[in-house]
Structure formats: C-alpha cells, structure tokens
Amino acid sequence: MRSVTKRFGGVTALDGVDFALGAGEVHGLIGENGAGKSTMMKLFAGVYGDYGGEIRLEGRPVAFSSPAEAQACGIGMVYQELSGFPHLTVAENIFGRRLPLRRGLVDYGAMNRDAQTHLHQFGLDIDVTHTMGRLPVGHQQLVEISRVIWSGARIIILDEPTSALSPPETRRLFDFLTRLKTQGKTLVFISHFFDDVLEISDRVTVLKSGRVVASLAAASTDKHKLISLMIGAHAADPGRLLDAPGKHPRPAATTAGDEMLTLRVHGRGAKPARPMPLRCRESRRG
C-alpha cells in the first residue's frame, strides 16, 4: 500500500498509509479500536473499493471492486465473526458454491474425499461429514481458514482470530499457521493481544488514528514498546496506562483459588444473604 487514504463521509479512517507485506511472512497488525486495522485489510481484500492511493500486488497495481476479485488474485480474509454455515457439513463449507457434480447431482463421495485430503494436507484431523455447528469454535476457525485456502488464497488476512479461543485452541491455531507459513503462505494477523502477536509474527506494524507509526521486527521489540507506540501520549511510561488513579489499576498478583470479590445480596424484608465469594480462575490473559 502506498499513501492509501480511506474516508467514510467526514471521518478519515486511513490517512496516507504505507504498508509492505513480504512473501512468506506472518505480519502482525495492532492498534487501538478505531485505529484503522480492519479497514486497511478490507481494502486489500476488496471489501471497500473507493479509496485514494495505490495498492500493488507482486509489483503490479491492482484495484479490487469486490472480495471475489481479490480472491481471484489470491487474497482471502477470515473475519472475527465466523461466517460458516452451521447446518452444512465441513466439506460443504469448504467447497461452498463449487460443489463437485456427477450427472447433474452433487458428488458427495468425491467432495468428502477431496475435503478430507485438503485438511490432512495441513495436519487437521477433522471429520468433514460433521456439521459445522457441532465443532468447537477453534475447529470452526481452522475450517474457515482452510476454506479460504481452498479458494486459492496465497495471502490470508486473519481479523482477531484468537479473541474467542481457549488456550489449547490458540495453540492449535498457531501450529496451523506455522505450517501454512512453511508451505509458502503469507499471513496478516490482526489482534489486540500483544503476546499472541509477538509469538506468531515475523514483523509488527502499529496503527494509530489511521496512520502507521512503526513497522518493526517482532524479535527486536516487546509488549511495552508496542504499547508505547500505540498509545503515544504515554510513550515515556506505558505502565502509567494501567497504574493511573481512576483509570484501570493494576491488580495485585493472584493465584487460582484466591477470593476476588464478595457480593452481599439484600432483598426487601429479607434477611441478609450469606456472602458469595467469586474466586480467581486460571487464565492465559492474566
């Protein structure tokens, strides 16, 4: 992307953005809500076609007016909200509108075999005859990525892919993305979770108020540096964002089983209820 600008009425969502995506890399994209992350990638994926500036793909200027045009050039996007059909099988979701036919009827045998081979190619052991709605959210996410690859995508954009995943599901997703990278796929990883971005990405680009403020190697930075770049005004001390009075105080260290909060519920004319302790549960988010 070169000097890309996108406006929605009087609101400037992207302001002269330059962005370079290298072949075969995982590129993290972070920023506060409204920074322009999703808008930026939706331009690349053909969702929005009205913008200023230039987008080049493998050195050639491109201008997509629809996601179908972007897909035809090898670009696919997996959105934060899953878009699969829960009542259809995994195989049907992967094939979409391109179901294999035999004598004018859907060849379910060929479809299931090809879909199962496709998933096995990426190390996924998912029964393609199950309906999508029966799968855990993490497996549905993997199937959606596989569907995008099946459409011919070489560049895959992932919008907040770990937001609804458990730690084991996130681990499975990262193993899958690493496998895709070794097979030559290029990935954009949009996320609010700094630890996830730093673990899976080769490079990280930081957006703030519709502008790129930095693009740097993931191995040469850390969470505090990314926070400093993202919040700007508190760059000298990113910890102030958490420690400032009246904001979001840093919680004391806790372990599983510690009492976190006690509620005392009183009904009109009722005796005081017993305290109901809520205890700390283990979470990878802390």
The stretch 257-278 carries a mean pLDDT of 65
| 241 pLDDT higher than 90 | no
Residue 70 confidence (pLDDT): 94
Q: For 71-75, 139-143, 269-273, which range has the lowest pLDDT when averaged over its residues?
A: 269-273
Residue 205 confidence (pLDDT): 96
Q: What pLDDT band is residue 266 in, cutting at 50, 70 and 90? A: low
What does the DSSP 8-state code read for residue 222? -
Residue 101 confidence (pLDDT): 83
**Closest Cα to residue 146, out of 171, 110, 114, 109?**
114
What does the DSSP 8-state code read for residue 131? B
Residue 82 confidence (pLDDT): 81
For 52-85, the pLDDT digits (tens) are 999 999 999 999 989 999 999 999 999 888 888 9
Q: What pLDDT band is residue 268 in, cutting at 50, 70 and 90? A: low
| 236 pLDDT higher than 80 | no
Residue 99 confidence (pLDDT): 84
The stretch 166-191 carries a mean pLDDT of 92
Name the percent of the chain lying above pLDDT 70: 84
286 alpha carbon, distance to own chain's centre: 20
Tell me the pLDDT of the chain averaged across its residues.
Answer: 85
How far from each other are the two terminal CA atoms of the chain, in whole angstroms? 36
Tell me the C-alpha distance between 146 and 168, whole Å.
19
What the chain holds in terms of domains, given with CATH numbers, is 2-87+131-242 (3.40.50.300)
| 247 pLDDT higher than 60 | no
| 228 pLDDT higher than 50 | yes
Q: What pLDDT band is residue 281 in, cutting at 50, 70 and 90? A: low
Residue 263 confidence (pLDDT): 75
> Could you tell me which residue, 236 or 12, shows the higher pLDDT?
12
Determine the longest span between alpha carbons in the chain, in angstroms.
75
Q: What pLDDT band is residue 163 in, cutting at 50, 70 and 90? A: confident
The stretch 12-27 carries a mean pLDDT of 95
| 40 pLDDT higher than 80 | yes
Residue 239 confidence (pLDDT): 52
Residue 102 confidence (pLDDT): 84
The stretch 265-286 carries a mean pLDDT of 55
pTM: 0.76
How does DSSP assign 76-108, residue by residue?
EEE-SS----TTSBHHHHHHTT---EETTEE-H
Structure tokens at 13: 């969502």
